Amino acid sequence: MDSAASDRLHPNASRVTAAKIVIAGGFGAGKTTLVGSISEITPLTTEAVMTAAGTHVDDTSAVPAKSTTTVAMDFGRITIARDLILYLFGTPGQTRFWFMWDELMRGALGAVVIVDTRRIQDSFVPIDFFEHRDLPYLTAVNCFDGAPQYDVDELREALAIADHVPLVLIDARSRDSVKQALITVVEHALSVLTADPPRTTTSV
């Protein structure tokens, strides 16, 4: 059977859906690493070498080997299934670049907030950002070598996230680990978007 005939019999077989996922988190949490580990194309990065001018602005105490930083965005693409392609947009982590976040999240299906347990407080702003804009997100704890480890309940309490928000443990260097997190955020976003709206009652 030729492809044209197959498409007529299965009209949705060749339909491909593209979705945008934002990757956010604090400075040095692993956003660029995550995009680079999963992207099937050479990722677009906007890494700049850190200079002495940023010494008192960017806290590198938890990531002393870090010598570059994202100044605009990271971009990658991954085919999750035959009919689903995800475009990944990694945000810059420093506060002075947060003005770009609204543009990066425009049209996004969902977001991943990467958490570094050495600096959990850096995750509060990204979490608040997506919650206030009603964008479905999950929290992905990046398991750095030697970083403090906590159980899921402790992490939920520390991050003050609701029970319905997925929390997963990942290794941002592992393609399989990142892929599973992306599948989870897509499933979560679709469940939120297709959920029945709350019913309202009218008093008489």
Reply yes or no on whether the pLDDT at 137 is more than 70: yes
Please, what is the average pLDDT of the chain? 82
Q: Tell me, yes or no, whether 75 lies in a domain.
A: yes
Task: Tell whether the model's pLDDT for residue 97 goes beyond 90.
Answer: no
- Residue 137 belongs to a domain: yes
Calpha distance 188→35 (Å, rounded): 20
Q: CA-CA distance, 128 to 134, in Å (whole number)? A: 10
Write out pLDDT tens, residues 48-81: 544 444 444 545 555 544 444 444 578 999 999 9
With 0-12 CB in 10 A as exposed, 13-18 as middle and 19+ as buried, what is 2?
Answer: exposed
Please count the structural domains in the chain.
1
Asked if the structure places residue 9 within a domain, the reply is: no
Predicted pLDDT of residue 14: 58
**Position 139 in a domain:** yes
Can you tell me the distance from the alpha carbon of 19 to that of 32, in angstroms, rounded to the nearest whole number? 19
pLDDT tier, 197 (very low <50, low <70, confident <90, very high otherwise): low
Torsions phi, psi for 25 (to 5 deg):
155, 175
Expressed as residue numbers, the domain containing 19 is: 15-193
The residues, ordered by sequence, that sit 6+ positions from 140 with a Cβ below 8 Å of its Cβ are: 112, 113, 114, 115, 167, 168, 169, 170, 181
What pLDDT sits at residue 29?
Answer: 92
Average pLDDT over residues 142-154: 93
Residue 125, pLDDT > 80, answer yes
Phi, psi of 195 (to 5 degrees): -65, 145
Whether 159 is covered by a domain: the verdict is yes
Is the per-residue pLDDT at 119 higher than 60? Answer: yes
| 101 lies in some domain | yes
Read off the CATH number of the domain in which 171 is found.
Answer: 3.40.50.300
Asked if residue 31 belongs to a domain, the reply is yes
User: Is pLDDT of 126 > 70?
Assistant: yes
What pTM, to 2 d.p., does this model score? 0.77
The pLDDT assigned to 8 comes to 40
Task: State what percent of residues in the chain have pLDDT above 90.
Answer: 62
| Residue 110 and residue 189 in contact, taking contact as beta carbons nearer than 8 Å | yes
